[in-house]
Structure 1
Amino acid sequence: MKTYISAWPQAATLPDFPRSVAVLGSTGSIGVNALKVMETHPQLFKITALSGGRNGSLLAEQCARLRPPYAAVLDDAARREFVAHLPAGYSPQILVGPEAFATLAALDEVDTVLSSIVGAAGFEPTLAAARAGKLICLANKESLVLGGHIIRAACHASGAVILPVDSEHNALFQGLMGHGRDHEIARLILTASGGPFRGRAAASLREVTLEQALAHPNWSMGAKISIDSATLMNKGLEVIEACHLYGLPVDMVHVVVHPQSIVHSLVEYVDGSQLAHLGIPDMQIPIAHCLGFPHRLGLNLPRLDLASVGCLTFEEPDLGAFPCLNLARQALDAGPSHPVVLNAANEMAVAAFLDRRIGFADIPATIETALDRHQPMDVSTPEAVLDLDSVVREEIRRALWPVAD
C-alpha cells in the first residue's frame, strides 16, 4: 500500500527473532497484555526495557519477573516506590522524567518498540522510535492525532515500520494485506461498540455518573479510554488515526456501531465486497499480531463461537447524542493544528470529569469551545505541536481548576 504511513510491513525488512522489545507503558492495560503475550512465547522476545508512569510498585513487580536491563518512570516519587520494591541483586538502569521514555524508544539495544503510553504523552517517544528506525507496534493513537504528518516523514527518512495495535486499525491492516492496490479501496469502516450509553437520548446524558461512564460493556480498558469510548471520542480519534495510517481522506473512513464488538473493522473494495476481521474482544490478539508479525502466535484465549454469539447487529452512530465523533472529523478537515486542540481539550475535559468537576455532557462542550476559539497555525515541527498542546491545556486548566481550589 503506497499511501501507508511507513514502508508497507509486508514488503519491509523486519527485525529477526528473538526481538529486543521496549514496552512504553508496561503498567497500563495494553502493556500488561503485551507482557502476557511475550511471556507465552519467551523464545521469540527479549524484554530490554519497561516503563511505567507513576505505578512504581507494579513496574517493579514486572521488572523483578522479567529482569530488563532498563526501566523508566515519570518522576522521583515513582522512582522511590520502584526502587523500594525491587528484589535484592537486581539493579536495572533507571531513567526518570518524560524524556526517559523517548530515550528508551531510541536505545541501540532495542529493535521493537510497543508504544502504549496513554494520551499526548506518547507523541515524543513514538517520534523518537520513528527517527531511530524501529519496528513500532503503535497503540498510542494520539501520536498520529497530534503529528501524523511528522511521524510519517520520520518513518520514511529512517526506514521505521509501524504496525497498528488498536483493534480497529489492526483489523483494517489485516483486511488490506495482499488485496489489491490503493485505487481498489472504496472505504474503510471502523466499528464502535457504542459504549455504555448507546441508545440513550442526548438529554439523559446530562445525568450519567462517572461510575456508569467507566462501565464499558465489552472491553476492559483504562479510565481515560473508557470515557473516550463512552463519548465516542475514541472513535473520532481513530478516524483521524486511520487517515494518517493509510493516507486516505476523511470521507473514505466511516463508522458503524456494532454492539457485540466481534467485527473489529471492515475494508470495502471498489467491487462492493467487504473484508471483515472477527474475533473475541481481547487486546492480546492485535498485540500478538503486531509483536509476532508476519507470523501468527498461539494464544491461550477462548475461541470465537459464532453460533453462541447468535446475532451480529449494526447501526448508525447517533451524532446528536454523541457529538465528539463529528468534532473529530471537523477538526481533521480544518487543518493539522485543529486535531492538536481537539486532543488537548479532550484530555483536559476527561480529566475534569474523572475529577468530578464537570458533567459528562460538558466534555464535548469543552472541546467544541476550544475548537471554535482556535485559529489555524503552523504545526510542521514537533516543538510547534507541543507548544500548542501546552497552551490549550493551560487555558482549560485555568477554567476548570480555579486557583482558589
Structure 2
Amino acid sequence: MRDIVLLGSTGSIGTQALDIVARNPEEFRLRGLAAGGAHLELLARQVCDFCVEVVAVATYCAHELRAIIEEKRQDFSQSIPMPTILEGPDAATELAGMFPDAVVLNGITGGVGLGPTLAALQAGSTLALANKESLVVGGPLVRAALQRPGQIVPVDSEHSAIAQALRSGIHEKGLTSPRITGRSEVAELVLTASGGPFRGRLRDELRHVTPAQALDHPTWNMGPVVTINSSTLVNKGLELIEAHLLFDVPAEHIQTVIHPQSIVHSMVTWNDGATIVQASPPDMHLPIALGMTWPQRLKEVEIPIRWDAMQSWIFEPVDHQTFPAIQLARYAVSASATHPAVYNAANEVFVEAFLRGSLPYLAIVDLLGTVLEAYEGVQDPNIDDVMEAQRWAVSYAQQQASHYA
C-alpha cells in the first residue's frame, strides 16, 4: 500500500486523483490533503471521506474549516478523527515535507507550487509532479534538491508519455536523463498539442477573442489559467521548458506538433529513425495513476482505444507566427536560468488581466515577449534570485498591462 499526500485536492488534478484512490482502496492510503481554501465544503468532505491525518489550507481559515469538518463528521456512522489543520501560505510546503515515505502528488496551479516541490524532494519523498510551474520557475533549485534518480515522476500527460516511451530504450530506463550526446539513443522529444479552441485561426482573427471563447477548450476540462494557456500555446511553452529540465534535453531537440485528437500524448524519436508514441484516450486519470504507482500500473484505469473502430489522427505543424509562445519559451531557456521564471510569472499576470477584461487576448503573448526582452537574467540562481525574478516579472508585467486598463 502506498501512502499519498495530495496537494491541490479540490482542483482538476486533485479530484481525479481522489477518484483513483477511491477506486483502489487496497493500493493507497491518503495521509494528507492541501488546498487553496476557495472550496472549504469540498475540502471538508474529502477530509472525512478519506480520514486524512493532516489538512493544509493556504488561507487563514482553520477555525471555519474545523467547524465544517465537525458538521460533516455527523454524516458518517463510524468515528472520523479530526485532522491536524495547517493554515497560511506555507501550509502546503509544511505538509509536503511531513511524510518522507509517501508519494507527494503536487497538483497545485502556478508558481506557488515551488515551495512544496522543494520540500517533498528534500524530505526524500517521491514527487508526482503535475505542477509544471514549480519546475519552470525553480528549475536549477529543483534539480539541485534531487536526492536520487527517478525521484520526480511527471504527471503532465505529455511528460508521462515521454517517460513511458523512454523505457523502451536500452540506456533510458525509467526517468534517467537521456542527455542528447553522441552516445545517446534519443534524437528528439516530440510534444503534442491539441491546438486549443483557436486551431487554424490567423492572428487577425484573434483580435477580439473573449474570455468565454478562450475558455471553451475542445478536448480537455481544466482550470481557467491552464485553459487560457492552452489557447495561447503558453502551456506548450511551459511544457517545453519542463521537458528540457526533466529529461536534460536541449530545447532545440524538443519539437512540438499539433494533434487535435489528443490521443498521442507525446513521442520519442530515436537515432535509428524509429519513433515510439504513447497513445491513450484524452483523460488525465492514466498519467495521474501512473504518477502515484510508477513504474507499476494499476488495472483498468481507462477504457483502451478501440482498434476495431475507424479513426483518424491528424498531425500539423505549429503556426508560430500566430502563436509565438513556444518560440518565446525557447528564448527563455537560452537566455538565462531565471528567464523561465519570468516567462511563467508574467504570463500569470497577463492571463489574470485578460480574464477580468482589462487586457486584449493577443496582448497576453505580445507583452510576454516584451517582458522577456527587458529582463537581464541570472545564470546560477539561488532561491532569493528566483524569488526576485518573479517579483520583478510581476511588477513589470503589471506596469505593461496597466497601459490597456
2:188 is the counterpart of 1:168: no
TM-score by length of 2: 0.91
The corresponding residue for 1:205 is 206
Residue type of the alignment partner of 1:218? T
> SS where residue 272 of structure 2 aligns?
coil
Q: Does 1:177 align with 2:167?
A: yes
- RMSD between aligned residues: 1.8
CA distance in 1, matches of 2:269, 2:186: 6
Cα contact 2:338–2:381 (8 A) shared by 1: no
Paired amino acid for 1:369? T
TM-score normalised by the chain length of structure 1: 0.91
Give the corresponding residue for 2:233.
Answer: 232
Q: Does structure 1 conserve the Cα–Cα contact (< 8 Å) formed by 2:101 and 2:124?
A: no
Deviation, structure 1 residue 306: 4.0
Once the 2 structures are TM-superposed, how far is the Cα of residue 82 of structure 1 from its aligned partner?
Answer: 2.4
Aligned equivalent of 1:155: 146
Residues 1:80 and 1:399: Cα distance change in structure 2 (over 3 Å): farther
Answer yes or no: is the 8 Å Cα contact 1:205–1:361 preserved in 2.
yes
Counterpart amino acid of residue 174 in structure 1: Q
1:102 is matched with which residue? 93
Shift of 1:309: 5.6
Cα displacement (A) at 1:398:
4.5
User: How far apart in 2 are the matches of 1:380 and 1:133?
Assistant: 23
- 1:135 is matched with 126
Deviation digits for residues 126-185 of structure 1 (CA, Å, limit 9, x no counterpart):
0111111111100011111112221111113x6771110000000000000141224110
Matches within 5 A, 1:379-390: 380-390=381-391
The answer to whether the aligner puts 1:320 opposite 2:324 as a matched pair is: no
- The answer to whether structure 1 residue 305 and structure 2 residue 295 are counterparts is no
The residue type paired with residue 147 of structure 1 is G
SS in 2 for 1:136: strand
**Residues 61-98 of structure 1, C-alpha deviation per residue, up to 9 Å, x if partnerless?**
11111110100111124x35423321346421111112
Query: Does 2:50 align with 1:50?
Result: no
**Alignment partner of 1:37 is 2:20:** yes
Distance 1:80 1:160, change over 3 A: farther
Deviations 1:187-237 (A, max 9, x none): 000000000000001011111111111111111111110000000010010
Is the 1:346–1:363 Cα contact (8 Å) retained in structure 2?
yes
Per the alignment, do residues 379 and 26 of structure 1 end up closer, same or farther by CA in structure 2, a change over 3 Å counting?
farther
Q: Kindly tell me the number of residue pairs found equivalent between the two proteins.
A: 384
Aligned to 1:113: 104
Q: Aligned equivalents of 2:320 and 2:312: distance in 1?
A: 25
Give CA-to-partner distance per residue, 1:249-298, whole Å, 9 cap, x none.
Answer: 11110001001000000100000000000000110000111212222112
State the alpha-carbon separation in 1 of the partners of residues 310 and 158 from structure 2. 20
Assess if the C-alpha contact under 8 Å between 2:354 and 2:364 holds in 1: yes
Q: What residue is the counterpart of 2:335 in the other structure?
A: 334
Identity, % of aligned positions? 40
Find the residue that maps to 2:352 and give its secondary structure: helix
SS at match of 1:98: coil
Change beyond 3 A, Cα 1:317–1:199: same
- How far is the alpha carbon of 1:360 from its aligned partner? 1.0
Equivalent in 48, 62, 85 of residue 64 of structure 1: 48
The equivalent of 2:9 in structure 1 is 26
* Deviation, structure 1 residue 369: 1.3
CA distance in 1, matches of 2:44, 2:300: 25
Q: Which runs of 4+ in 1 moved over 6 A?
A: none
Aligned equivalents of 1:397, 1:241: Cα separation in 2: 25
Distance 1:294 1:159 in 2: 13
Which residue matches 1:400? 401
Q: Whole-Å Cα distance in 1 between the matches of residues 316 and 150 of structure 2?
A: 38
Q: Could you tell which deviates more after superposition, 103-112 or 127-136?
A: 103-112
